[in-house]
Amino acid sequence: MAREMLRCESADIDRLVEAGLPYEYRSGERYFDPNDLYNLGMYSNRSTTQPELAFRMLFRFTTRPLDDLLRPKTWDFRVRFECTECAGAAPWHFEEPDVVRFGGSVADVTRPAVSAGSAEFSAKVTTTGARTPIVSPVLRRLTRDYLEAGYRWQMIPVPMQADYEQVHALGATSCIAASLFLAEQFRAAGYRAEAKRGWFCGVLGGALDLPHACVEVEDDDGTYRTVDIAKAQLAARLSPDTGDFQELCLGSIYNKVIPSTASGNAPFGRHECGSQVPIRVHADIRAVRSS
Ligand SMILES: [Zn+2]
């Protein structure tokens, strides 16, 4: 897997291990942390590794005209919950899509019934976009300062992202960590702000569960706006031609993101069976073809 992901030979992997790449033995084979491999590939500058190819494909839309991102778009939204060490039948709690506040709508909702082991939530979710840029010069300056600080975006396990101070002290960042960090800076400047989690859609046929978060902040005119700080940063990394999209991330909304009611460092769902092991949440979100 490591060779495939990094498009390199065994000898190259040996060199990475000698240089300190952590691993453990499982059934006689070296096993690497997928996050480590992802980050190695992403910053290898080889341009042929899987993370680099996936990133370019994922963010290609940021170089295109923005009109496509501002129109209504409907998603077939399915989330499967798995309680791996389930203690029995109980209700499920799920932080649902929260799109109505942003001009969207939700239809055909099927909520999970009381059950054991696993369950599913499904709905048709319509998102839309709007140009509503941040007006506060203070919020703009804090956002600009953050983007210019040069934190390196990395794939980081969600539980570690909650410790956003440690992540940034390492010079790194990630969607949830960045949003928690920036929300804290907005609050320190006297603004009401909270990091919220959501779903980043329309990528790789819904196969990729990319953790997404952004900051909701009350602007000087009393309106709540969203700052999608990590997407602005990633678009800048992809290409300097993404200026329009980067600006869209600073206050406006676009149809590829489904906000949820989950706060930045909270899980999307839980099972009330009493098990101490957090549930697994798998999303499958596909664009509904408009006929
Ligand atoms: Zn359970």
Q: What is the pLDDT of residues 220-241, one digit of tens each?
A: 999 999 999 999 999 999 988 9
Distance from Cα 83 to the centre of ligand 1, integer Å: 5
Token pair of 280, please?
């697994």
Residue 104 banded pLDDT, cuts 50, 70, 90: very high
Q: What is the pLDDT of residue 106?
A: 98
CATH number at residue 197: 3.10.620.30
- Size of the chain, expressed as the number of residues it contains: 291
Same domain for 100 and 73, yes or no, is yes
Query: 108 and 148 share a domain?
Result: no
Q: How many domains does the chain have?
A: 3
pLDDT over 90 at 217, yes or no: yes
β-pair partners for 130: 253
Distance 118 CA to ligand 1 centre (A): 8
Is residue 53 domain-shared with residue 72, that is, in the same domain? no
Residue 268 Cα, ligand 1 centroid: separation in angstroms? 15
* Mean pLDDT of all residues in 246-255: 96
Q: Is 13:3 a contact under the CB 8 Å cutoff?
A: yes
Ligand 1 centre from 94 Cα, in Å? 13
What spacing in Å lies between the alpha carbon of 78 and ligand 1's midpoint? 19
In a shared domain, residues 194 and 229: yes
Same-domain pairing of 172 and 85: no
Per cent of the chain over pLDDT 90 is 77
Whether the Cβ atoms of residue 78 and residue 285 lie closer than 8 Å to each other: yes
- Measured torsion, CA atoms of residues 62, 248, 286, 125, in degrees rounded to the nearest 10: -170
By the CB criterion, residues less than 5 angstroms from ion ligand 1 are: 83, 86, 271, 273, 275
The residue-averaged pLDDT of 243-271 equals 94
Taking the centre of ligand 1 as the mean of its atom positions, its distance from the CA of residue 27, in whole angstroms, is 30
Average pLDDT over the chain reads 92
Say what the pLDDT of residue 54 is. 87
- pLDDT at residue 1 above 90? no
Are 167 and 253 found together in one domain?
yes
CA pair distance 110, 4, nearest whole angstrom: 39
At residue 210, does pLDDT exceed 80? no
Residue 290 pLDDT greater than 70, yes or no: no
Would you state the pLDDT for residue 208? 58
- For ligand 1, the distance from its centroid to the CA atom of residue 267, given in whole angstroms, is 15
The rounded Å distance from CA 79 to ligand 1 centre is: 16
Same domain, 10 and 39: yes
d(CA 178, CA 195): 9
Q: Domain range spanning residue 20?
A: 2-58
pLDDT greater than 60 at residue 207: no
Q: What are the pLDDT digits (tens) for 132-180?
A: 999 999 999 999 999 999 999 998 988 898 999 999 999 999 999 999 9
Q: Please, which pLDDT band fits residue 209 given cuts at 50, 70 and 90? A: low
How many C-beta atoms lie closer than 10 Å to residue 47's C-beta?
Answer: 9
Same domain, 141 and 258: yes
Q: Report CA 231 to chain centroid distance, whole Å.
A: 9
Q: How many other β-carbons are positioned within 10 Å of the β-carbon of residue 258?
A: 25
pLDDT at 204 over 80: no
The verdict on 254 and 187 lying in the same domain is: yes
Are residue 161 and residue 225 in the same domain, yes or no? yes
Are 155 and 257 within one domain?
yes
Q: Are residues 36 and 110 in the same domain?
A: no
pLDDT reported for residue 203:
65
Question: How many whole angstroms from 75 Cα to the centroid of ligand 1?
Answer: 28
CA dist., res. 192 & res. 93, Å (int): 27
Question: Looking at residues 68-90, what average pLDDT do you find?
Answer: 96
Q: Which of 58, 78, 100 is the last residue of a domain?
A: 58
Domain end: 58, 85, 106, which one?
Answer: 58
**The predicted structure's pLDDT at residue 2:** 86
Looking at the predicted structure, is the pLDDT value of residue 58 above 90?
no
